[in-house]
Amino acid sequence: MLRKERLTEAELLSPQDFPVKTFFNAIPDYNFETVIQQMVLGIGSGFNATGCLFPDDLDPHEEKFEGIMFYLHKEEVILDYETFYFYLIKACRIYVGDSSIQKEIVYSLVEKIKEKYIAKK
């Protein structure tokens, strides 16, 4: 059985956000919570040719950016924190489905992300 996509093209705020869709859909179910835990810490991750980077993931010689970068091969998009949060919530809703245990764990992590990146403004 194929798992349901966490993000669809119809949900994208912009066609340029396609790397965001591919990233969230590429995360294996068994690794989803770990990826969200890493996001809380500001650590990006990647799967195959897609991934996300936080500013602190960069080496000192690399050009800094504000927000979160998603990439697919050489295609990149940098999202502000509010847009990132919008997509994160959508992906998490599909991941947790009807599981109350997973819902509690994932949404506590999402709340930490909101506090770190959204509430600080």
Residue-range definition of the domain harbouring residue 69: 13-116
Q: Is residue 54 part of a domain?
A: yes
Sign of CA dihedral 57, 108, 115, 17: positive
Q: Is residue 51 part of a domain?
A: yes
Task: Please check whether residue 17 lies inside any domain of the structure.
Answer: yes
Q: Worst-scoring range by mean pLDDT, 5-9, 84-88, 98-102, 107-111?
A: 98-102
Total domain count, the chain: 1
- Asked, for residue 7, whether it belongs to a domain, the answer is no
> What's the pLDDT score for residue 103?
85
Q: Which residues of 60-94 are buried (b: 16+ CB within 10 A; e: fewer)?
A: eeeeeeebbbbbbeeeebebebebbbbbbebbbee
User: How sure is the predictor about 2, in pLDDT bands with cuts at 50, 70 and 90?
Assistant: low
Residue 80 included in any domain: yes
Is 6 part of any domain? no
More confidently predicted of 66 and 100: 66
Give domain status of residue 5, yes or no: no
- pTM for the complete prediction? 0.90
Q: Does 73 reside within a domain?
A: yes
Query: Is 29's pLDDT higher than 80?
Result: yes
